[in-house]
């Protein structure tokens, strides 16, 4: 018998954070980067461990870092296509925030909502509570486009994780360049070395 032993984590999840805190754009990008770093770590170091990238399953640590939780053992390695799709959906939700958009609250299909407004009415889908500048709208449009690309399950369009890392690094270089010195941007490691965004566990037993 095998099991995953993890420590208890207490705190706010991303779903609650989005709906109650109205985080600014820089923090949203920071969270997206942190989640990507955690995924890369799991992909490289623990491919037999599965996870669900829903906003309610990702917690915020005391210092505001995203932490992936809710693990499960897999018989086979977690599908890269499924992982990329879930990450794309997560990016859309972080930019949009269902609670912040009355039109979306009545809709169950986030993807169709974004597609119906992209690219000509991008500002219409960005969380209406969030302060927006021309630069923020432009960066959010990039993230939305990237999210739509990730949820395209056709092999010819869905990006590899190397490509995901490159695109996120490009977006973050402008989105968080003016952040305070103590608010560092998490690096998206390809070698699986960034594990602070993964809920601590003792491994597979």
Structural domain boundaries of the chain? 4-204
When the pLDDT of each residue in the chain is averaged and rounded to a whole number, the result is 78
Specify whether the CB–CB gap between 186 and 30 falls below 8 A. Answer: yes
Q: Residue 75 pLDDT more than 50?
A: yes
Decide which of 43 and 128 is more confident. Answer: 128
Q: Which CATH number describes the domain made up of 4-204?
A: 1.10.510.10
Closest CA relative to residue 189, chosen from 58, 69, 44, 59: 44
Q: Residue 128 pLDDT more than 80?
A: yes
Q: How far is CA 85 from CA 26, 116, 129, 187, in A?
A: 23, 19, 26, 21
User: How large is the average pLDDT for residues 8-34?
Assistant: 89
Q: How much is the pLDDT for 180? A: 44
Q: Residue 144 pLDDT more than 90?
A: yes
Phi then psi for 93, rounded to 5 degrees?
-65, -35
Summarised one tens digit per residue, pLDDT across range 160-189 is 777 787 777 777 777 656 444 444 444 444
């Amino acid at each position: 018998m095998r099991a995953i032993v993890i420590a208890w984590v207490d705190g706010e999840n991303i779903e609650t954070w989005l709906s109650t805190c109205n985080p600014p754009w820089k923090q949203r990008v920071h969270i997206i980067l942190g989640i990507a770093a955690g995924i890369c770590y799991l992909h490289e170091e623990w491919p037999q461990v599965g996870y669900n990238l829903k906003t309610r399953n990702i917690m915020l640590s005391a210092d505001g870092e995203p932490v992936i939780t809710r693990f499960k053992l897999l018989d086979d390695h977690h599908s890269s296509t499924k992982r990329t799709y879930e990450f794309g959906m997560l990016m859309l939700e972080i930019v949009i925030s269902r609670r912040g958009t009355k039109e979306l609250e009545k809709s169950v299909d986030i993807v169709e909502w974004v597609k119906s407004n992209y690219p000509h009415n991008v500002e219409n889908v960005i969380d209406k509570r969030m302060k927006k500048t021309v630069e923020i709208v432009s960066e959010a449009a990039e993230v939305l486009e990237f999210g739509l690309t990730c949820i395209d399950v056709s092999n010819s369009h869905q990006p590899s994780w190397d490509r995901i890392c490159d695109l996120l690094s490009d977006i973050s270089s402008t989105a968080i360049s003016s952040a305070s010195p103590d608010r560092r941007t998490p690096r998206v490691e390809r070698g699986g070395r960034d594990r602070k965004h993964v809920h601590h566990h003792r491994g597979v037993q």
